[in-house]
A and B are shown apart, each in its own frame.
Chain A
Amino acid sequence: MPTHEDAGPTVDPSRFRGPDEPYAGHWREFPASWPSLEQQMPAGEMRVQVADALVRLPDRERAVMTLRDIEGRSAAEVCSMLDISAREQRLLLHRARAFVRARLEEYFKARQRRPDTGEELA
């Protein structure tokens, strides 16, 4: 039983060129590069962002992501634990990762606009 969370693109379609444009389906503008983690991120800041994104995930996605990316279980293990197909597992995980990545992207973008603060986001 696919729910609303299981369908649709994981990246905003407007970020890609439309079918009638040259280079259809390619990036309109590249994702901005991220600051190198070790150098420019105060310790723990990234963790806070990721943890924050995690709680905003739909339940099923959060469950799969917790098992796979935080607890480090294998895909096969997670499939059998949750009794879901490999395809469904991957779909949920992919949606969750794309969501967390997008949150981080937003965060870095905001942080770059205010390069000196870096501590807290209003």
Chain B
Amino acid sequence: MTAPPIPRSSTSLRRRLTPLYIAVFLQGFLLWVPVEKLFMSEIGFDPASVGVMAAAYAAVVPIIEIPSGILADRWSRRGVLIISSAALMLCSLIGGLSTNVATYIVSALVLGVYFAMYSGTLDAVVYDTVLEETGESEIFEKRIGRVRLVEAIALVVSSLLGGWLAGLFTPRLMYFLSVPIAALSIVGYLWFREPRLHKTEEATSLRSQLAVTYRTLTQRGQLRPIIALAVLTALVLQVIFEFGPLWLVALAAPAVLYGPYWAALISTLGLGGLLAGKVQLNRLVPLGTTVGLMILASLVLTREAGVAIVTIAQVVLALLIVLASIHVTRLLHDKVSSTVRSGVASGVGALSWIAFLPSALVFGIVSKQTGVQTASWIIVAATLGVAILFVTMAFGRHAEPMIEEPVPAMETRSSDRGHAWNLRGSSDLVSDLTCVEFVELVTAFLDGALDPITERRLVDHLPNCVGCQRYLDQFRETIQALGDLPPQSLSSKDREALLAPFRDPPREP
């Protein structure tokens, strides 16, 4: 007999995440964003210096991403998010006080601090909360989708409101109005109860954690395509959001169109979040459709077209890339342990910014000289990269056609009987690891001591098997409980006794 599952997951998870949603909403409520380019031109920016500012911003983010991730893992994720709110307040304040290019760039750099503190940390905090509340990572995609939705609602509402208010008053006022809203988000974060999952291996030194993060990012072969995908999706999104309005400038679109255009583009973040749990990118048909549309939309941007077509192409492309990036985030998080998760997520974020920096400069220069249509071949190239990586990953994992009906883990959980094991594993040369094997490899896996092939088999097994997910989680909880034991102040005699079995010649029983 198996005891019935404890019905705690759904409501208590939702209740616990509510303050987080509120804080995220308030942080995203930036009234100045829709009128930023307008304000910038008022204080002396030209299109070329916009590119330089984007590059400067991109330079500061990766510098702070890595320490922010490590701070989040070792100190407090909530604390890092609170710092991000403070940076946001400062950025809006400096921005509002700016009267020239130089001070505005300072404000952009502070915005970079906000972004670096916020980006990887939030994903990690949601993942660990989901895991802590439900014991499974299955619904992470849905929850992070919800977060993206909240972010998007905040952005859309503040875009429309900010555009309207800026018309009534001044763009500058929008910066000042955003300051107290960011301050309120700190209250939301203070109200949120931080998950303790990542504190499992607190005892490890900072140096060794750095080493693990570095090793995770560089040495684990199976992570490379995923990291590359995460970087490329972020790059495409970044370019669209930073330079997308240049199409409207090139088309001499009337100012009134900027608000709805920006709202539509921003809303893709939320729509992508909504769709994330529904479109199964590990299946052939949705994957093919997504990838095909993505490439098509990017190609449209290289052609001369009207405002409507350009907007649709940008929105479609952004939507599909958001969808892809949420899927990639999930893959990435499943493959790294909780203690280094936000470090790795931030590391990936840093790589994205490093990739964005030269892209921003080149994009700016090319679009100034030969037009945005030519520059957007950069977008096409990055989109093709996304498509190729997705397809090769799908085919690399599944030599056979993918199964049409993966068994949702939630369904089997209710009965706790049978096996959610996905059949596609059986035809796969690499990943047909059994649970019997899995349970013996957990310690080696947690120590990062597995050879890359075994590690990949293990990691590939995990998303399909609720039983092994639980076993791994319980193993981690066990280790955490051991770590919570009062540190033993062993007398030298007791220590001798402890180590004796290794010192003395074996004694006959």
Genuine A/B complex: yes
Chain A residues near B (Cβ < 8 Å)? 1, 3, 9-11, 13, 16, 23-27, 29-40, 46-47, 49-51, 54, 59-60, 62-63, 65-66, 69-72, 74-75, 81-84, 86, 90, 93-94, 97-98, 100-101, 104-105, 109, 112-113
The answer to whether A25 touches B436, judged by C-beta atoms less than 8 angstroms apart, is yes
Q: List, in ascending order, chain A residues with CB within 8 A of B443's CB.
A: 90, 93-94, 97
Q: Is the CB of A10 within 8 A of B488?
A: no
Query: Chain B: residues with CB nearer than 8 A to chain A?
Result: 2-3, 5-6, 8, 12, 132-133, 135, 196, 201-204, 208, 412-413, 416-417, 419, 421, 434-437, 439-440, 442-444, 447, 449, 465-468, 470-471, 474-475, 477-485, 487-488, 498-502, 506
Residues A104 and B482 in contact, CB atoms below 8 Å apart: no
Given contacts A30-B466, A63-B502, contact A25 B434 (CB under 8 A): yes
A100–B3 contact, CB under 8 A? Answer: no
- Whether A29 and B203, one on each chain, are in contact in the complex, defined by CB atoms closer than 8 angstroms, is no
Chain A residues contacting B419 (CB-CB under 8 Å) are 23, 26-27
Q: Is the CB of A113 within 8 A of B3?
A: yes
Per the bound structure, the CA–CA distance linking A93 and B440 in Å amounts to 11
Inter-chain contact B196/A39, CB cutoff 8 Å:
no
- Chain A interface secondary structure, helix, strand, loop or mixed? helix
9 tightest Cβ-Cβ pairs between the two chains A and B: A72-B203, A25-B434, A27-B467, A94-B443, A69-B482, A30-B467, A59-B501, A112-B3, A82-B502
Taken together as a complex, chains A and B put the C-alpha atoms of A46 and B484 apart, in Å, by 9
A105–B244 CA distance with the chains assembled, in angstroms = 55
Instruction: Give chain B residues whose Cβ lies under 8 Å from the Cβ of A60.
Output: 501-502
Q: Are B474 and A36 in contact (CB under 8 A)?
A: no
**Interchain CB contact under 8 A, A35 and B434:** no
Q: How far is the CA of A50 from the CA of B474 in the complex (A)?
A: 13
Q: Is the CB of B483 within 8 A of A69?
A: yes
Q: How far is the CB of B195 from chain A (nearest CB, A)?
A: 9
- Min distance, Cβ B489 to any Cβ of chain A, angstroms: 11
Bound CA span A77–B413, Å: 41
Q: Chain A residues near B435 (CB, 8 Å)?
A: 16, 25-27
A33 in complex: contacting residue of B468, B470, B500, CB < 8 Å: B470
In contact, A36 and B440 (Cβ under 8 angstroms): no
Q: How far is the CA of A23 from the CA of B435 in the complex (A)?
A: 10
Are A31 and B479 in contact, CB atoms less than 8 angstroms apart? no
Residues on B with C-beta less than 8 A from A47 are: 481, 484-485
CB contacts (< 8 Å) of B479 on chain A: these are 69, 97
Report 23 cross-chain contacts, Cβ distance below 8 Å, ordered by A residue.
A9-B439, A11-B440, A13-B436, A16-B435, A26-B436, A27-B419, A30-B413, A30-B416, A30-B470, A31-B474, A34-B477, A47-B485, A49-B481, A50-B481, A59-B501, A62-B498, A66-B498, A69-B483, A94-B440, A97-B475, A98-B442, A101-B475, A104-B477
Q: How far is the CA of A46 from the CA of B417 in the complex (A)?
A: 27
Complex CA gap A62/B495 in Å reads 12
Residues of B within 8 A of A93 (CB): 443
Count chain A CB atoms within 10 A of each CB in B133, B204, B475, B485 and give the residue with the most: B485
CA distance A47 to B477 in the complex (A): 12
List the A residue with the shortest CB-CB distance to B486: A47
CB-CB nearest in chain A for B449: A90
Rounded to whole Å, the gap between the CB of A113 and the closest CB of chain B is 7
Assess the B3–A109 pair: CB atoms within 8 A. yes
CB <8 Å contact, A26 and B434? yes
State the CA gap A27–B436 with chains docked (Å). Answer: 8
Report the Cα distance A36→B350, complex, angstroms: 34
Considering the complex, give the chain B residue whose CB is closest to the CB of A86. B449
**Which of B208, B413, B467, B481 is close to A46, meaning CB atoms less than 8 Å apart?**
B481
Question: Once the chains bind, are B482 and A105 in contact (CB under 8 Å)?
Answer: no
What residues on A are CB-neighbors of B488 within 8 Å? 66, 70-71
User: Which A residues lie within 8 Å of B487 (CB)?
Assistant: 70-71
A65 to B485, CA, bound (A): 12
Distance in Å from the Cβ of A75 to the closest Cβ of chain B? 6
Which of A26, A60, A72, A104 counts the most chain B CB atoms within 10 A?
A26
Contact B478 A97 (CB under 8 A): yes
A26 touches B465 (CB 8 A): yes
Find out whether the CB atom of B499 lies under 8 angstroms from the CB atom of A63.
yes
**Could you say which residues of chain A place their CB within 8 Å of the CB of B468?**
27
Contact B439 A98 (CB under 8 A): yes
Please tell me if the beta carbons of A50 and B485 are within 8 angstroms of each other in the complex: yes
Pair B2/A32 contact, Cβ less than 8 Å: yes
A74: chain B residues within 8 A (beta carbon)? 204, 208
Q: Across the interface, which residues of A come within 8 angstroms of B483, CB to CB? A: 69-70, 72
Contacts of B196 in A (CB 8 A): 38
Contacts of B412 in A (CB 8 A): 30
